[in-house]
Structure 1
Amino acid sequence: MRSSARVQLNVRLSKETVEKLDEIVDYYQENTKVGRVYKSDVLTDIIGKSYEIMEKQKSMNKRF
């Protein structure tokens, strides 16, 4: 579900964080069959999954 409207973010990250991101991108590249994997795609996926987890936790907390 990729939107055509995009926003560019300019962020400063530690070297350690960039190295971890590069390693994650390499992992995605090796384990997917969709062609070239970009950092933005990986970050979008990670954020989407984290958001889903957060929403589940929020709904669980409302039950109690």
Structure 2
Amino acid sequence: MSNESRLQLNVRVSAETIKQLDEIVDYYQENTKVGRVYKGDVLTDIIEKSHQIMLKQKSMKQK
């Protein structure tokens, strides 16, 4: 994770969503070699990847 400033995001999500996030964090932990994996880092990774896909889809629509 870069040294950019970080903000806290407080959201309410369902218990099922938390369970899914915990499973994803466990998966990341088992399949990466970076040490401890945090929920915020996993969420950041998912959002960045989703954003890249969205931008690619938007650019394809404009062609």
TM-score, structure 2 as length reference: 0.95
Q: CA RMSD in A?
A: 1.0
Specify the SS of the correspondent of 1:12.
coil
Query: What whole-Å deviation, never above 9, does each CA across 1:5-58 have from its counterpart, x for those lacking one?
Result: 111011111000000000000000000000000000000000000000000000
Instruction: Say if 1:6 and 1:13 are closer, same or farther in 2 by CA, change over 3 A.
Output: same
Task: Identify unmatched segments of 5+ residues in structure 1.
Answer: none
- Structure 1 stretches of 4+ with a deviation exceeding 6 A read none
**Which residue of 1 is the match for residue 39 of structure 2?**
39
Query: In the alignment, is residue 11 of structure 1 matched against residue 11 of structure 2?
Result: yes
Find the counterpart in structure 1 of residue 29 from structure 2: 29
TM-score (norm 1): 0.94
Structure 1 Cα separation of the partners of residues 44 and 55 of structure 2? 16
